[in-house]
A and B are shown apart, each in its own frame.
Chain A
Amino acid sequence: MISTLILVAALLLIAGGMPVAFAIGIAGSSYFLLPSTFLPDSTAVQRIVAASQSFPLLAVPLFIILGNLMNSAGITSRLVGLATTLTGWMRGGLAQSTIVLSTLMGGVSGSAVADAAMQARILGEPMVEKGYNRGFTGAVLAIGGLITATLPPSLGLILYGYLGEVSIGRLFIAGILPGFLLMFMLMVATSYVARRDNYKPANDRLPTLGEVGRDVKSGFWAILFPILLLVGIRFGFFTPSEAGAFAVLYALIIGFFVYRELTLAKVVDALVQSLRDIGMIMLIILFSGTFGFVITFERVPQSIAEFALTAITDPTVLLFVVAGFLLVLGMLIEATVLVLLLTPILVPVVTAAGIDPVHFGIVMMTLVTFGGMTPPVGVSMFTVCGILRCSYRDYTIQMIPLAIGVLVMVVLIILFPQITLFLPDKLM
């Protein structure tokens, strides 16, 4: 009961426009100040500190730095070249290439919004000049970013694993097939739109082997990176946090010595940007420490599990119900916030129902991240439409085929858990 009140208080403060970190911190801490709580007030602050003292959590700042380093290290521009060569011959080739680019970048960056924003800046205007509808350009760039949500190293999956005590290594490997499935679905949807609206291919012929070889060679070090990362984690050479540190080192070496595009000034810029990003996202993580504690202390997951499992006995039906709930919430609330608030509640519930938490993690991350790409409140949508100056109405109409692609993919993953679990079961 009290925990419901606290959750409602947090949501009201957020809806009222208070910065999310403070809304969650204030609502969570207020529990300790209630006369009915016998815990000392200082527990609130102890929980905030405790939230920061975790080695797995160090993966978050490291992959944030990596994302910011990639552009200045020259990795991004080489991947753009490769993606265009691979898909330029298709109908709507430029749009297809942005989807492939998101897949390539997904293996290095971990953020859907960062991916969408970067692509909107580099590829948005060129697409509009080639005759693409502004709304569709925005939609394909924003929703393409969803691929990064499941492909390792996804920031969301790191957070989910940390909060739900699920193996981050398994989550990373489980996300690979869904990432490629999503790429396929989005390419099918794009191809439909290209036919419907008569978008032309960017090249009039298939790329020659030589051209593909040239671009693979120039992007070699960038493509090699996610493979090294996964092999390293799979064989236990390093944990996800350690992988993050090696990745930063790798990007520095490639940027300074191989591509020779990095300068000290660019590194400092990337670090300043990272410091801000880390402060912004991790303050929410720290302040939600009290919140997570209250939820566990009041046995909220257990109560929900008891209630849900008496109402719904079939795990697949339960997963569909929870997925529907996440889709709606995701459309209203920012993804990071949802992951922080709901992971500690939902993971015990689905585990009790016999659903693999790794499987659920992929479904959850896909849906809450997708919510950021849809109206009425979507950070990716706002960002991309802000950069491209496309109207939300146009964006919404044009995103429908792509959204159907995403939802079909989610339904497939729910119905066939093996899509997520096959690789981790085989490999780990």
Chain B
Amino acid sequence: MIFWKYYDKIELILGLTALTATVLAVLIAAIGRSLGMPVTSAPQFAQLFLIWTVMFGADLTMKLGMHIRVSALTDLAPVRVQKALAVVHSGLILVFLGFVAIVGWDLSMGNWQRELGASGLSYGLVTLALSVGAGLLIISFLRRLVSKGFVGAFQPADDAVETLI
């Protein structure tokens, strides 16, 4: 689908932009402080870009089915049990993300007047990231359910297991 191709590309570019902006904002904060000229709004910008980075990154990970999970136990279970669990989990995840998206949106609109530290930006932009991110996650999860089915939606594209610590 040509629509999804552009959709994915735009999302990746937005995510990379947010990531780069986060790094730059911390760098500006750090350089400013070491030169004795602290840029008071830079940390706020960094934190704002961070939550957007996280939500875009989380969605990219969702598209690949790579969110960390423990599959050791369920892999041993019969296929029917696996399927039942996947159906229940899918329902819970969608309800939870819907809750986060809607409440996040309300909070964001309610907080629009509140200023984000010294940056002059609205605190609503921070909350908005969560709401938009949850919306993106819902879309990606539904896309996976359609293309991979209930059990496959939770499994990574290849068998790569990743974690960080």
Contacts and interface: CB of A to CB of B under 8 A. Distances in A.
Contacts of A22: 67, 89, 92-93, 96
Interface in A5-32: 13-22, 25-26, 29
A62 B47 CA distance: 12
Given A52-B47, A149-B165, A339-B165, A278 B69 contact: no
A304 interface: no
A277 B100 CA distance: 22
A241 interface: yes
Among A19, A48, A268, residue most surrounded by chain B Cβ atoms (within 10 Å): A19
Contacts of B100: 25, 29, 45, 48
B55 to A, nearest CB: 7
Contact of A244 (B26, B54, B107, B165): B26
A380 to B, nearest CB: 9
Nearest to A50: B126
Nearest to B97: A22
A4 B121 CA distance: 40
Contacts of B89: 13, 16-18, 22
Contact of B68 (A45, A244, A334): A334
Contact of B61 (A17, A42, A155, A280): A280
B72 interface: yes
A274 B107 contact: no
Contacts of B85: 16-17
B103 A41 contact: yes
A87 to B, nearest CB: 26
Contact of A379 (B86, B104, B163): B163
A53 B47 contact: yes
A246 interface: yes
B162 A113 contact: yes
Nearest to A46: B107
B29 to A, nearest CB: 7
Contact of A49 (B16, B43, B126): B126
B51 A271 contact: no
Among B70, B71, B74, residue most surrounded by chain A Cβ atoms (within 10 Å): B70
Nearest to B105: A45
Nearest to B81: A16
A47 to B, nearest CB: 11
A271 B20 contact: yes
B26 A45 contact: no
Given A53-B47, A242-B29, A283-B58, A20 B103 contact: no
A26 B154 contact: no
Contact of B165 (A44, A54, A369): A369
Interface in B105-141: 106-107, 126-127, 130
A416 interface: no
A276 B22 contact: no
Do most interface residues of chain B lie in helix, strand or loop, or is the interface mixed? helix
- Interface range on chain B (Cβ under 8 Å from partner): 35 or more
Given A49-B127, A275-B56, A155 B92 contact: no
Interface in A283-319: 283-284, 286
B138 to A, nearest CB: 12
Interface in A58-78: 58, 61-62, 64-65
Interface residues of A, number: 79
Nearest to A335: B165
B67 A21 contact: yes
A22 B54 CA distance: 15
A14 B130 contact: no
A136 B69 CA distance: 27
Interface string B8-25: 000010011001101100
B20 to A, nearest CB: 7
B43 A282 contact: no
Contacts of B16: 268, 271-272, 275
A61 B107 contact: no
Interface in B33-77: 33-34, 43, 46-47, 50-51, 53-61, 64, 66-74
B92 A379 contact: no
Nearest to B54: A282
Given A25-B96, A155-B164, A277-B162, A62 B57 contact: no
A23 B162 CA distance: 18
Nearest to B63: A276
A109 to B, nearest CB: 10
Contact of B12 (A54, A272, A286, A337): A272
A428 interface: no
A279 B60 contact: yes
Nearest to A280: B61
Contacts of B26: 58, 62, 241-242, 244-245
Contact of A275 (B60, B154, B165): B60
A341 to B, nearest CB: 13
A347 interface: no
Given A16-B89, A29-B96, A65-B23, 12 more contacts: A45-B99, A49-B51, A52-B126, A53-B51, A62-B26, A246-B27, A276-B66, A279-B61, A280-B61, A280-B66, A286-B54, A386-B161
12 contacts: A18-B89, A111-B164, A154-B165, A156-B165, A237-B34, A244-B26, A275-B16, A275-B19, A280-B61, A283-B58, A283-B67, A379-B161
